[in-house]
Amino acid sequence: MAHNSLFTENELVTPPLSDGIILPGVVRRSILDLARAWGDTKVSERHIEMAEIINAQKEGRVRDIDGELI
């Protein structure tokens, strides 16, 4: 599964463009810019490990996940 984004209580995580999994786009950039402008949401462009998603879900921190099976 390729994860496009993981949104927890206080962090939005998305893979970096440099690895070729995520395509650059206006919507992606707008979402990241808006999240940064909110000021209360940390924005991270890094790899998301399945263990991180599972732990965040178990802890009740997951607000949204966007991804697809590949």
Segments forming the whole domain that contains residue 35: 2-68
**Hey, what are 53's tokens?**
């998603």
- Give the pairing of strands 11-14 and 42-45: parallel
**68, pLDDT greater than 50:** yes
State the pTM of this model.
0.75
Number of structural domains, the chain?
1
What is the domain-level CATH number for residue 42?
3.20.10.10
Q: Which residue has the tokens 């599964």?
A: 1
**Hey, what are 33's tokens?**
């810019």
User: Of how many residues is the chain composed?
Assistant: 70
Which tens digits make up the pLDDT trace of 24-43? 889 889 988 998 998 888 99
